[in-house]
Amino acid sequence: MAEELTARTGRHQQRYDNEYRLVAGCIPYRYKESGEACNGTVNRELEVLMVLSRGGTALIFPKGGWENDESLQEAACRETFEEAGVRGIIKKDLGCWDFRSKRYQDDSNLEGFHRAHMFALLVTEQLDSWPEQNERQRKWVTITEADGRCKDDWMRQALRSCVTYLSSRQMENVASYI
């Protein structure tokens, strides 16, 4: 069966919690080999995948509306596939952040309030074609670059939550070999 390469559109199935539009997304990550260490082991550097926002100037993590016919994790994976063209394994629920869309910053009504649920996603597949490939570019970046390029403070907080989780996992993995 051919894979669907169109993104869902419209808001008729969107979930809301009071005035907040519920969105779900991921911080896709991978480990890139970065040379050999002195002891013969391979150094691995953590990278995260960001995409250009609509309009194309800011880097963001893939996210979008959580719809009535899917679980929170399904929505996060679907949005990550649609916007960034990757699939993977959700490793951690990073938390939830409230924010107001920049588009509505000067508006006094309730439009534009969002509640974002974000997950750490270990990338297992990067596709050559994906639904929003003509609307967004994707870019693998180091944690330092991602921290500096995050469009919003809440995204920076989500990134730090992801790094904290992955750092604790690395220490567990190292400790198991000692």
Helix, strand, coil share of the chain (percent; to 5)? 25, 40, 35
CA-wise closest residue to 64 among 128, 120, 8, 20: 8
Angle 171-174-177 (CA atoms, 0-180°, nearest 5)?
150
In a domain, 7, yes or no: no
| Domains of the chain: total | 1
Band (6; pLDDT cuts 50, 70, 90): low
35 in a domain, yes or no?
A: yes
pLDDT at res. 168: 86
Whether the per-residue pLDDT at 157 is higher than 90: the answer is: yes
Nearest to 26 by CA among 45, 51, 3, 44: 51
Residue 120 has a pLDDT of: 97
**pTM here?**
0.83
Whether 79 is covered by a domain: the verdict is yes
Q: How many CB atoms lie within 10 A of CB 177?
A: 5
